[in-house]
Chains A and B, each alone.
Chain A
């Protein structure tokens, strides 16, 4: 048993290390517990030589340890020195397994069985969690590794990769590199590779076909021995040679461990974080959470919090947070003069969605937001503009232009812009300030975080958005009162891609509104499902049956994972009866759709092949995931001469790197979907960007602002493999010089060889590179403009699958 310390810090990442250093500097008794044999395991595991970035630049560092942009080795070296100089007490190999007790007398038990006593605990274990371990016999042998730092470390070995998620496949592909001459086997317990990205599966299958690795499905490890591995296969046991096992079985998020200490989270979602006070104290007094685990993934934030939390524990109440001046800057432009905390209180009390937000969370949200004063009549945004941020009204009111000369007010405390937030589609109406007003604009990411972290906010946003979405769809003919029964108890249903919502011939008269995602409508004609229509978010369907009482006359299924609101046929009929305007609008829509169905059916009789082609093309487009695209690059291979001018143009208009790969990708009936960003409705790439630099721009483009730290999360999250991590090549000699003297690499992305020669030993930092739809280039997408034959086009699926196209093809 050891002496109780004033503060025990669990986890020696940037957050924990900075906290321990502050404790040491203040002369507090402390202990830093680290499960591995080195400091800061997350950063230790970065790729060798990775440049670690110190974003956000505007934030000052407040820590007893040094940190500035530099190579991983340099930063870790500094920290080791700083820890020694600050006389930090570290216990390595101390994986904390259990925490018991209460403030003043906590007992911390490690996996080895040691017990530490502490008055306060700072939990800074990050979000990496623990890898799932192998469980078969021999699973504790040392040649089982849970991570591949550098594939080059393995040469001429028999390597078995267990686990067929993206991590496993990527590792297998890495070590299967031809020059390494390894014999690689990858094991998958099930038949298919459902958890991995299509691109990875394709690359792996190809490597399998080319003999670079052997892919064993429905196979599991049974017994591990030095040099050998026994497998359990569908046809019995089999023993294979095996020098190294790479186990990539996913990891357990630390949440369960954290909750076991009694710490509450803000909600059940994956995005939720521990509930924290302004001093980082959790719902368990004396237990503090900081760093990535607290929801702050950037190293600088982590380090500042480490410093602050120990100051708080030490009784310093006067400390102003390091972000104070950034917040002050956010409020600086407003007409009234208030202090930062007065402003935060002002917003929290006046805006409904902020009501349940803690002061600490409020600071965080405001850093990702803007507050601005709008004079009466100023336009906030216009109809048809893309945009996904959410606005809240702190003062004054806004007016929505729902129709020509018809406006609807939105009162103080409420929100607007939520349609873009939920569906990712363009703004549905123009909004102006109804009087001099103050609006808060919350970025999409911050708004999603808010919804996950504060259930109250989520409820308010969902309710308002539902109400507005329905009002929008039924074009001003309805009032909020009409919708009361629906929004009180909404029937929101989720459908995975490909799932049928309505089947042709079914009885039923419910009407559905697509809240997010998109649907395809098909009809069985001559025994074959024929594609009729693509329905983007914001459309409704099922209304024909209400009016006619006949069974469903077409099948509707989800093109991508989607959410629909189901309105009872009765409810809908009531609405129609009460509001003749809505009835007229619905009837018009029905007539239009019926006419189109008839058209396709009649064409099917006379131009069967054209209709089949249209339908098959649509199916292909949907299968390629373009159902969630807002703008995709397509290449008509009847016209593409393979000159790659599109790629060259892209590279030459973007720092010398091409953001599309023309040849790669699938093709159907000479329609080719190259590897290039589709600017998804709900961009997967945005999900987990630590510095939050991925945004949707004014033309609908998904782009990265400067500040990428090169972590590669977006690259892994994009299901279409369109993001690459690359460093911009040096400036090329001018085009004229190349044309006249042949000097330089010429148009397009320079060869790696040329770049290398120019740079010498310099290792530039690699950041995420993807198509930005030629943002800021007034002429529009360079790839399309530079195609000499007109093969390349950029379109949205609804434009591409329009009926005009069928008419054109059918002649």
Chain B
């Protein structure tokens, strides 16, 4: 018995010391929160003395060994700035551990939606970026919309976002694309005399799919299935709104347009135009089917079809439709996120804060965006007569031989943490048919997108109860969707719809909705607008 007590005692002591250890460290960090002004005074504006910066990226797949000898991009950066980076990476759990231990590297890149982001900002472990910029490099121009969007309640903003579509930097022609759309195989359309416009009405679409089914078209020995559609894309085409006339958030799954989409897909299923396995195939399986040429029409772009095109350049998917609903509303599809992906922050204990801020400024430069994308200008690319990027033959050859090796040599695509996509999109080189068609369809459905920014922070933060509710609802919805689309009769469909809603209510639907609506209103306030949905804004 005694020995047990001793053991417990040891444990408690050790545990106590551990906890105490980490909490004292935390408090000292808070004390050193403000940037060190003494160093600032001595900072030389063009200081290129070699320094080493440690940088943690919360993405476990990321790896980069800084190599200023063999890697062209690293060489350029080190020559230009004197900075060498020691990258480490890991998942969010590792980031949590780093935070808990109080030891964080000079720079940190974290997903904007991760709960660790808020913890970092409030912990004093990272320095406010606005203060750092003011102190060390006032020429570092961070778009105001980015600052506002990521501003902490304490009034500061802490991180620079990559892939952020700052509206003040947008030029005419910059388009936020959508991953949603309606695509069909051009070769089969030509063969059966189907035109892209046929897909613009429900009846036209059904007739087109029927033609495919009735012709018993085979491709490569496979029966061609008419359609693999997702209900949420179809309901977007039907114009399902996300904001009501009072400016409240609308749950798209509960709009009449969503129900109309389910009824429509159920009809396609009964006519044999939408296979049963559309509800069970995973992405890999559907990709396989598409690349075998066994699919005629699709509603998402995230399925790769290059395998099919490589074998048969005629078998290409082109943009069709979009299909309009019974109410004749304007189709509205979701663009890709405009509020970016990750935030990069600077440790409040970093030795060379002055140099780091300048280094960040350097990396966010427009041409640097192209350099980190393709490798250094002059070696891997240069501007052509139209101001577009032209890749060098040396680079194309190296990449075709061994893409992974080329990356190590040129550094292309290895340092995207401070990138904006806009300069890249404006200068995008377009070469093959697949790319041309891709660009065409991007533009085609890009017309139907809206400014989604205000909706982008309605997803509950990780770790909250609402995040749990949201996951539970998603589960119910996945089940209910499949049941409705494969329902035996319209009455069954309506029954499933009502059952789904009843179950959602039990799981805490209202709580989640209130949370999301509050977030939505908050975002609109931050953006200084009353309405964000296109049809509401016109009024």
A and B are partners in one complex rather than unrelated chains: no
Using CB atoms and an 8 Å cutoff, list the residues of chain B in contact with chain A.
Answer: none
